[in-house]
Amino acid sequence: MKPDALGWLSGVQRVASPNYDARPPYTPIDLLVIHNISLPPNEYGGDAIKQFFTNKLDHSEHAYFAQLKGVRVSSHFLIRRDGQIVQFVPCNKRAWHAGVSIWRGRSRCNDFSIGIELEGSDFEPFTERQYDALVRLVRRLRRTYPIGDIVGHSDIAPDRKTDPGPFFNWDRFSARQG
């Protein structure tokens, strides 16, 4: 995995999302935000996440999808349950993953962060393959960007978000980081 000039990583699946824009000029990318997502909730596999991040979700396919109509979000990366990494937005662009957020007194975390979604939920553990892929991805990103902090979505938007959730093992992740 090596990023090109725009921030697309080699060796990962690429599914381009339209849900991004330019970062503010001269803004270092120094925060990494970990999320979880499953569509429909607590169900894994399938293409619903890809369809959601590319604005192609069939809202009639599942009752839950109706509430996502008109929502335009993305993330830089998704790590599937089997460890497959999918990239939706080049790292040098601002993915729409954090929403209203603040970290260390800085608001608008999308401006200076990279978002990584783990396929999962707040209700069960993530897989070993996901942790392995996450560690590899974070190591690669840290070689390229001045990432100083790695946080959960719940850390930057505590009043509205809970992910990556209570089953994300921060100690395991930190130990594997070295």
- Alpha carbons 75 and 147: distance in angstroms, whole number: 17
Among residues 43, 61, 117, 119, which one is catalytic? 117
CA within 13 Å, CB half, 49:
29
The distance of Cα 170 from the centroid of its chain, to the nearest Å, equals: 16
Q: Give catalytic status of residue 117 as yes or no.
A: yes
Phi, psi of 78 (to 5 degrees): -130, 135
- Alpha carbons 77 and 60: distance in angstroms, whole number: 26
Phi, psi of 79 (to 5 degrees): -110, 115
Q: Which helix (H) or strand (E) holds 165?
A: none
The amino acid occupying position 39 is L
Q: Which residues are tagged catalytic?
A: 117
